[in-house]
Amino acid sequence: METPENFDPNGVGIKGSLFGLPYTVDDADLIILPVPWEVTVSYSAGTADGPEAILDASSQVDLYMKGLKDAWKLKMAMMPINEPLKKENLKYRDLASSYINWLEEGGEADANHVKVIPQTINDICEKLNVYVSTVAYELLAKGKIVGLLGGDHSTPIGLIRALSKIYPNFGILQIDAHADLRINYEDFVYSHASIMHNALKVPQVEKLVQVGIRDICDAEVKYIENYPERIHTFYDQDLKEHLFSGGTWQVQCEKIIESLPDLVYISLDIDGLEPFFCPNTGTPVPGGLSFDQVTYLIKMLARSGKKIIGFDLNEVSPGEDEWDANVGARLLYFLSCWTAATHGKLMASSL
C-alpha cells in the first residue's frame, strides 16, 4: 500500500484515492467534498454521477504542474461519496422532474397535488444546504481548505455560507455559460439556475464577477444592471470581440482579476467551457472558454497576490466515454493546486 513515505509520483495511479495520492481526510490540507445532487436540473441529468466519475478518472492524471514546485506533495483527499444522499437525490429528482414536466405542458390550474411539490423540494434542498454547510464549516474550523465537487450548480451554497462564518468579506469568481441569477426558477428556491441569486443573499459576498456568460434572460440582465457595484459580468460575446479585434486574453484576465477583492471564491460550472470539453453537461451552450483560457485565468489570479479561499466544480456529467470526467479531473487538480499555492501549501516557480 502506498504511504506518504514511499509514494512514487511517477508510478501507476491507484484507483480509489483522489489522484492516486496517499493521503486521508484526517491528514490532508485540502479536502474535496463530493455532493452527488441534481434534484432541480431542468434539462439533461447526469451531473450527480460527476463526483464518482471524476474520482475514478483522477488516477489517470499526471501530477506534474508547470509553475508549481512538487505539486504532488500537496496533501489532498476526497471525502467518501455519501450514499444516502445519492438515494435521496434519485427520489426527489423524480418528484421535481414531474413538476417541471407539468410546467412545460402548461400547468393545469386544478392540479393541486402537483402544486405542493415545490415546497417539498425547497425543504429537502435546504436540508442539503445545512448538511454541506455543517460539514464544510467543521473542516474549515480545523484549518482545512475546502473544495466542493457537484452535482448541479445549486450544491455550493452551503459551502459559501460556511465560508461566510470564517471570512467577513469575499468575492466570487463565477465561470459559467449562465448567469444563474433567476429568482426561484421553476418555483424552486434552490434551483441550479438561482445559485448566484442565493449567493448574493449572503452579506459577506461583496462582489460577484461573472465570466463567459452567454445564455441569459432579460430579467437577469436587468438584475446585473441594477447592481453595478456588486455584479460585474464579462459576457462571452464581449470577450470574443475583444480577441477578434486584436486584444489579448492576458489583458482581459487582468481586468477580471482587478474587479475582484483580495479574497476570492471560485465557482466553476463546466459549461463555462466550450461544449467540446463538456458535451454531456446538463445545458451545453455554443461559445465559451477553452480549457487553457480557464487555467490561465486561475493561474493569473493565484499569482496576483489574492487568496483563493475555496472553490466548487459543478455540472460535470460523465457520459458514456467519460471524456467530461477526464476534463473535470484535470480542472479539479489545477484548481486544487493553485488554490493551495495561495495558502502557502505549494511554492510557485517561474513562469
CA dist., res. 93 & res. 277, Å (int): 26
For the stretch 96-146, pLDDT in tens is 998 888 888 886 655 666 778 999 999 999 999 999 999 999 999 999 999
Phi then psi for residue 284, to 5 deg, are -65, 145
What is the average per-residue pLDDT within 210-233? Answer: 97
CA geometry: angle at 165 spanning 160 and 166, to 5°? 95
- Spatial CA neighbour of 343 closest among 167, 204, 207: 167
- Spatial CA neighbour of 334 closest among 66, 140, 10: 66
CA dist., res. 281 & res. 292, Å (int): 19
Amino acid identity, position 111: A
- Spatial CA neighbour of 168 closest among 206, 130, 210: 206
Strands 347-348 and 68-69: antiparallel
CA geometry: angle at 257 spanning 256 and 260, to 5°? 100
CATH of domain 18-348: 3.40.800.10
CA dist., res. 327 & res. 321, Å (int): 12
Query: Residue 147: what pLDDT?
Result: 98
For the stretch 239-271, pLDDT in tens is 999 999 999 999 999 999 999 999 999 999 999
Q: Is the peptide bond between 151 and the residue preceding it cis, with omega within 30 degrees of 0?
A: yes
Type and span of the H or E element at 84: helix 83-104
Query: Residue 110: what pLDDT?
Result: 54
Rounded to two decimals, the pTM is 0.95
Instruction: Tell me how far CA of residue 59 lies from CA of 138, 219, 319, 350, in angstroms.
Output: 27, 43, 18, 27
At 172 the three-state DSSP class reads strand
Q: Can you give the residue ranges of every domain in the chain?
A: 18-348
CA terminus-to-terminus distance, the chain: 35
Query: Residue 106: what pLDDT?
Result: 82
Type and span of the H or E element at 159: helix 157-164
For the stretch 3-33, pLDDT in tens is 777 889 998 877 889 999 999 999 999 999 9
Cell numbers for 72 = 504532488
